[in-house]
Each structure stands twice: as structure tokens, then as C-alpha cells.
Amino acid sequence: MRMWNVNPKFLCNKHLLGEHVEMHMYVGCILKRTSLKGYIDKGLVEVHNIRQRHDELVQEMISRKINHKSELKNFNSWIEGNVDGTNSIKELCKRCKNCKERIYKK
């Protein structure tokens, strides 16, 4: 699981939908009181930005005419974290030619 923390327009459909699902998975973990410490320590999630990020992803999904039906459950968390968007762009370019094309096109 990871939060890319890059402009959602840069993500191919697979990564856009994948990150959206992961926002729901993070909230599920929080509600079950499962620790996200490893993800936070590795810079893979900003817990304090999950709702905002979810909403950004949903807006991009809607702009691409991708159906969105899943509301994000309410949660409380005082943990922050930091995801480096610059490193995420480099990682996306290594992993996915479609994301790489979108990044360099924008």
C-alpha cells in the first residue's frame, strides 16, 4: 500500500484506482486499530491527508468518467507522516510506462 502524493492526472487508470482502493484500506486499518507505523516510517502514507487525497483521486476518476460509489468512512488520527512526491514520480516512471507518459506529457 502506498500514497503516491503526486498530481492524480499523472497516474494511469491502474495506479489511480489502486491508490483510491489503498486510501480505503488505510482507513480500514485505522478503524481496526492496526498499526501503520511501518508505512509511515517508510514514507508511504500521510495519515493526516488520507481524506484529502481520497477526494483528489475521486475528482480525477470522475473527470475520466470512472464510476465512484465508495464513501470513505470517518476516522480520527493524530499521526502525520511524509510522502516525498518527487521520489514517487521517479518510482512511477520506473514502474509504469503509462504513468511515465502521462508525467512527461503534462
Domain membership of residue 40 (yes or no) is: yes
Summarize pLDDT for 52-70 with one digit per residue, the tens: 999 999 999 999 999 999 9
Q: Choose between 80 and 54: higher pLDDT.
A: 54
Is residue 1 a part of any domain in this protein? no
Cα of 72 vs its chain's centroid, Å: 13
| pLDDT value, residue 77 | 77
Identify whether 36 is part of a domain: yes
Residue 50 lies in a domain: yes
Whether residue 78 lies inside any domain: the answer is yes
Residue 78: partners with Cβ closer than 8 Å, 6 or more residues away: none
Q: How many helices (H) and strands (E) does the chain have?
A: 5, 0
Domain of residue 24, residue span: 8-105
Is 2 among the domain residues? no
Give domain status of residue 26, yes or no. Answer: yes
Give the separation between CA 61 and CA 46, rounded to whole angstroms: 21
Q: How many domains does the chain have?
A: 1
Q: How far apart are CA 5 and CA 90, in angstroms?
A: 12
For residue 3, count other CB atoms closer than 10 A to its CB.
Answer: 24
How many other C-beta atoms are found inside a 10 Å radius of the C-beta of residue 55?
11
CB-facing half-sphere around the CA of 32: CA atoms within 13 A: 9
Element (H, E) at 89: helix 85-95
For the segment 7-19, the average pLDDT, to the nearest whole number, is 97
pLDDT confidence bin for 106, thresholds 50/70/90: low
